[in-house]
Structure 1
Amino acid sequence: MQYVKLEDLVSYTGIEPVYYPEDVQSRIYTPDIIRPGLQMAGYFDWFSFERVQVMGKAETLYFKNLDERVKEERIDKFFSFPIPALIVANEMEVEDIIIHYAKKYKRPVFKSGEKTDKLVNVMINFLEEELAEETTLHGVCLEVFGVGVLLKGKSSIGKSETALELINRGHRLVADDAVIIKKVEGGLKATCPELTQHLMEIRGIGILDIKHLFGVGSIRIEQFIELVIELEEWDENKEYDRIGVDEEYTVILGVNVPTVVIPVRPGRNLSAIIEIAAKNYRQKLLGYNPLESYNKKFHSIVRK
């Protein structure tokens, strides 16, 4: 089961440890965050203890005004659950009784000067991405005219060479060969393995550092995939779509991605075709479909 180490969340958010036992390795399995107001009020039915707990101003002040005996009873029961961590936000004071019972059960406690809602949003965004469903595909990912394009095709079809020409024309590389794809916010975010960031392999030349060759403007760290370009060898016996009637999709992590199949043969300018495919995709997003326009003209002429 996928998880995030608590230390990674601490490093990302900059929350300050109040009590952080070294021999406890907390793991976070859900991106959801809970503010334990009901638990401070004594209601523990359906307590989502597996989530990171965040006490804001309201929860902290409510707890502070409780009778001492009630405080002990509730915070003792609260920490008896295996929570990943408790974070006290909004520059609120962490009472000694909280630290005492945190030590009793070895539950990490942190504090933060951030506003509660802002801190919660930052943590949710981080955890959602880290815990997102993920796959790695063979291909090349680029940004072409602002569109995230995934080039696919069998080995030696010319993906990297075509991508290099696109980069030379001013477009940006995300990943070559291995493309890490995460399902985030209903979309597909592509990144590159750390080992091969900014690098491309071109047969006959070797490894190229795109960032150094073309400058920082030629690369992107991540990009949402919006269009798949499938390169395949020209098949004389196959009928290829010539007017854009057929809409094809590639399913990646359960998401349907519009797909254009481009047959490859000598003399075809693949980089120019891919640029046009990206522009055409953007045009459709803006509400203009050239096929629909063609059909309207055709029917208008037929009626005359």
Structure 2
Amino acid sequence: MTSSYSLATFRHQGKPTPVIEVGRRYWPISAVAPELIPEESPRGLMQLFDDWAQSHARLARLAARLASEGAPGEINAPRKLEDILAPLLYPNKLIMLGANYLDHMQQDAGVADFEKATKIPVLFMKPPTTAIVGSGASVPFPVQTKKFDWEIELAVVIGQRATRLTMENAMDCVAGYTIGIDLSARDWQFHDKHLVKFDLFGGKAFDSSNPLGPCVVPADQINGGDLQMTLKVNGEVKQHARTSLMIWSIPEQLVAITEHVTLEPGDIVMTGTPSGVGLKTGTFLNPGDRMDASIEGIGDLVVQVQA
């Protein structure tokens, strides 16, 4: 017998603590399965993805035991959002998909129609250790931009080393899913001083540009290809769509990525955003604004731009 579970990283007693969640109850993994993550492990949850198949099997059995019997060492969920850290600190790679929802292309980018068979996905990267942040007031307002925009995305967590994937085996390397927000400085993404007036590095790779969380849900517990996703700014719905609207599916993305780079355990792939970003309407984030990003089966990532 197994039970559903998720994985998170809390700030507990002043330090990052990998936890397992079962039925909205939380235990430090070092307290209930120290053989998986010892108390002083510097890699946190990343350690589980070195051999995800084995880790997942053991965690599923542990979750079943915790659901039926509980265990000593249980802790409360953090009272402060800032104590819900990004679950993975830090992946080796943070790979981004651009232009991957048809409604986003049609409504926000003005692309009326295209022949998918003649196109390839837009890929780029962010630096994980400086871009990834967790919940709460984790995002300073970037001084270099006046057009600070939001993009909710399903984030894929890789569970094994993979290169030259095929459509038949691509999903074998997916360990789980979490929620990401691809924050964007539109006036740097489209800057007149650039020779080609387009720069994904300046527009998207800045510090604290990629909130991630609140947890990782194993891939066999939800269907990443068809999940409801919603992003609100100050309580107003801005984006609302299903992941089934992706132009390139998750396996197609992984095949495309591994034509260029090898994926490693714990790597994150951000899968693109639907319509509803501020670029279309000229409505952008301000200091103090709150973003609530939710994806069905995963939870809610709540982030505030620092005032």
Identify the TM-score tier after normalising by the shorter chain.
Answer: under 0.3
Task: Name the structure where helix makes up a greater proportion of residues.
Answer: 1
User: Highest relative contact order (Cα 8 Å, sep 6+), 1 or 2?
Assistant: 2
Q: Which has the larger radius of gyration?
A: 1
TM-score by length of 2: 0.23
